[in-house]
């Protein structure tokens, strides 16, 4: 079973059960969005890292802690939100060295503090495989969460940074979640849709297009590639944790792009456009791509 | 390292990072408690079930789903709260049978609906061991969350139901979270402290006493034992998921106890009293008990 099929099951079996108007985005986006107080919506995300899947046995626990936090913060960033609080599930083998556990907790606390994030509770259990789950709550101004489903025909498609090679370079362990960048983009470009890139642009672009009932039309030559990466690797490598956003042409200006790039020292690249829905979620240089994206689950 | 040492690390390294007054209970209770809107506080809990630790390989996935939900609901109940919404982390081996996954999602959705609980998102990842984490958010009237730390000298100590033998009888998979019971008790007995029993009365009673800076003075002969259980098993078996509460004597009446027992078909037993802090967290018939509680983690 593929990850998307599992998410499909969740969508099928988990009925909302909330009062009408309370849930504005359920399963299928980077975060769920729920009405909070008069001013804000609550965004909620949950990401798990498993030894052997998301990091190799022997990875220093500081790096694991950092990645656990960053993947969750990246989801909150993608909604245009600000992190608020989190709970941790720490499932570890009984014989885990004290030193390893201690370093993990210390690093997670220190990193969380940098982002003004409070870790307020959780669970510690014994498990055969080290499995870490962080659930993160964030806030976003009421009605302002940036969903995957908001893209419109003719919107421009942008990505931040350079894609590909994150496993090889170790960047999947050390990337910076694009929180400040996302807030700046939300404010200045008013994107119609935004998400973070975890499964590769090919896979994630398709998801955004499907959610918006459109097709994403990508130009291979425009895709910003990390050093030493071919196009295929840049499009399918996964774990980029850059932002993918669609922007109505009237909200874009070269001046603002230059401003962004200077302010954050980060490229913002036009890679395509949203077009009316055709036979595919995503086209690469006018054709349905032969490559498949990165799958965290299943084959 | 023991579970309590890990929780100690969390307490040490996870600084609150919230505005003063926003967090009213952090690490160390059944739920964290955070200011929500004008009327309510938010209670947050997170529990993980691992194959091999909390259920055996081959346990029907409906039963696993039911237990996952129930252990989390039990934590919300213990705060006097009402469940609101949840996110799920589903970490499973790549080869998990479709049928098993499907039955899990269907059962979790169905059970959640019974409690008016919305499952709004989550994560699906590949893992060597089936590891399921549910994070649950609930609401409780502002300032009314029942903490472990509220017990006072001379308070009466009660437990619901009968303790022990839950692994043998399978009750650890099929127990009913005491949500309605907890709300009734909160309203009618105004307990000074409450928690759910997951690690056995000996262990959990000690935790409540420590949090309240008192000693719990238990009478072994008063402890309600499940059929076929000796006192030791009743006190240390773990996974009872009954309620442990302390009640100021002036809030108690036999009439109310009879009402409770009739309404819910559930025993409410006086098992001891809170006394000034002595050399031990908990005394059993006046002595420091030789037995140890159930440890989900470590030895």
**Could you read off the pLDDT of B76-116 as tens digits, one per residue?**
999 999 999 999 999 999 889 999 999 999 999 999 999 98
CA distance A3 to chain B (A): 6
Q: Does B44 touch chain A (CB under 8 A)?
A: yes
- A contact test, residue of B3, B6, B43 with most A CBs within 10 A: B6
For residue A121, list chain B residues with Cβ-Cβ distance below 8 A.
Answer: 26-27, 29, 31-32, 44-46
Nearest residue on chain A to B51, alpha-carbon basis: A127
| CB-CB under 8 Å, B85 with A18 | yes
pLDDT category, B17, cuts 50, 70, 90? low
Residue A299 has what pLDDT? 33
**Could you read off the pLDDT of A167-185 as tens digits, one per residue?**
888 888 889 999 999 999 9
Residue B299 has what pLDDT? 34
Mean pLDDT of B138-155: 94
Distance CA B74, CA A122 (A): 15
Please tell me the least confidently modeled range out of A33-47, A215-229, B10-24, B129-143: B10-24
Closest Cβ–Cβ partner in A36, A89, A92 for B133: A89
**Could you read off the pLDDT of A19-35 as tens digits, one per residue?**
666 777 778 888 989 98
Residue A298 has what pLDDT? 43
Domains assigned to chain B: 3-141 (3.30.1330.10), 148-284 (3.90.650.10)
- A contact test, residue of B127, B238, B294 with most A CBs within 10 A: B127
Query: Across all residues in chain A, what is the average pLDDT?
Result: 91
CA distance B22 to chain A (A): 11
What is the C-alpha R_g of chain A?
Answer: 19
Q: What is the pTM of this model?
A: 0.90
Q: Does B87 touch chain A (CB under 8 A)?
A: yes
B159, B257 in Cβ contact below 8 A?
no
For residue A112, list chain B residues with Cβ-Cβ distance below 8 A.
Answer: 14, 17
| CB-CB under 8 Å, A15 with B88 | no
Q: Taking 80 as the threshold, does the pLDDT of residue B294 lie above it?
A: no
Q: Taking 60 as the threshold, does the pLDDT of residue B132 lie above it?
A: yes
pLDDT category, A294, cuts 50, 70, 90? low
3-state secondary structure chain A: CCHHHHHHHHHHHCCCCCCCCCEEECCCCCCEEEECCCCEEEEEEEEEEEECCCECCCCCHHHHHHHHHHHHHHHHHHCCCEEEEEEEEEEECCCCCHHHHHHHHHHHHHHHHHCCCEEEEEEEEECCCCEEEEEEEEEEECCCCCCHHHCCCCCEEEEECCECCHHHHCHHHHCCCCHHHHHHHHHHHCCCEEEECCCCHHHHHHHHHHHCCCEEEECHHHCCECCCCCHHHHHHCCCCCCEEEEECHHHCCHHHHHHHHHHHCCCEEEEEEEECCCCCCEEECCECCCCCCCCCCCC
Mean pLDDT of B202-210: 96
Mean pLDDT of A128-152: 94
Q: Taking 60 as the threshold, does the pLDDT of residue A55 lie above it?
A: yes
Q: Give A 179-208 residues with CB within 8 A of chain B.
A: none
Residue B29 has what pLDDT? 84
CA distance A91 to chain B (A): 8
């Amino acid at each position: 079973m593929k990850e998307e099929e599992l998410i499909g099951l969740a969508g099928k079996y988990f009925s909302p059960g909330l009062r009408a108007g309370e849930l504005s985005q359920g399963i299928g986006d980077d975060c769920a969005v729920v009405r909070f107080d008069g001013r804000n919506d609550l965004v909620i995300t949950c990401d798990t890292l498993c030894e052997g899947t998301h990091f190799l046995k022997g990875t220093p626990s500081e790096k694991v802690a950092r990645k656990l936090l960053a993947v969750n913060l990246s989801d909150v960033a993608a909604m245009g939100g600000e992190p608020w609080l989190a709970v941790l599930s720490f499932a570890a083998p009984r014989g885990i060295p004290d030193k390893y556990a201690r370093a993990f907790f210390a690093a997670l606390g220190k990193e969380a503090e940098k982002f003004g994030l409070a870790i307020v509770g959780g669970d510690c259990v014994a498990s055969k495989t080290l499995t870490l789950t962080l659930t993160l709550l964030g806030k976003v101004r009421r009605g302002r969460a940036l969903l995957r489903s908001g893209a419109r025909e003719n919107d421009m498609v942008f990505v931040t940074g350079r894609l590909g090679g994150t496993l090889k370079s170790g960047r999947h362990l050390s990337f910076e979640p694009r929180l400040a960048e996302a807030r700046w983009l939300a404010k200045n470009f008013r994107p119609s849709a935004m998400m973070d890139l975890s499964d590769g642009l090919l896979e994630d672009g398709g998801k955004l297009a499907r959610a918006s009932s459109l097709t994403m039309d990508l130009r291979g030559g425009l895709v910003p590639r990390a050093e030493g990466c071919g196009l295929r690797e840049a499009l399918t490598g996964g774990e980029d944790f850059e932002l993918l956003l669609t922007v109505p042409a009237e909200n874009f200006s070269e001046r603002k792009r230059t401003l962004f790039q200077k302010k954050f020292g980060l490229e913002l690249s036009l890679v395509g456009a949203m077009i009316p829905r055709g036979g595919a979620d995503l086209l690469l240089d006018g054709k349905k791509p032969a490559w498949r994206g990165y799958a965290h689950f299943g084959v």
